[in-house]
Amino acid sequence: MWFRNRNYEFVVDTKKASIVCPVVLPQVDAALYAKLKTFLKSRQSDEVPTHRRIDPAKAKITSTNRAGNVAITLTAKDGDYEYTVRKFVNLINEVFQVFLHEHFDYQVEAFDLDPDQP
């Protein structure tokens, strides 16, 4: 997967039934990370349309922030790997397209964008 001219690594752990992107967002401060955690939690809410929602009975979303580098993990609860991989790719896309839409200044800094040529 790519965003803002960067490639992203996905790591699958079949023993843990999980898929992780070790660095989804770089240079994330505590305030932005708190907003991201709220956003991630909202992806399992009944307020999200069914086709976009991650069913909490089927998969668990976790995130970590290590030295400003945010990792996101989706872990299958029922062994449905197809569901988990599909929802993970969609989740990462929503982080880029929905969550970051509200954080343009962050994108300028973290992705070295020209603010006049986004």
pLDDT at 2 over 80: no
CB contact set of 34 (below 8 Å; sequence gap of 6+)? none
- The answer, as to whether pTM is greater than 0.85, is yes
- Please tell me what DSSP assigns to residue 69: E
Question: Mean pLDDT, the chain, as a whole number?
Answer: 91
Q: Which CATH number fits domain 2-110: 2.60.40, 3.40.720, 3.30.750, 3.30.1360?
A: 3.30.1360
pLDDT category of residue 5 using cuts at 50, 70 and 90: low
pLDDT at 28 over 90: yes
**Token digits of residue 103:** 């954080």
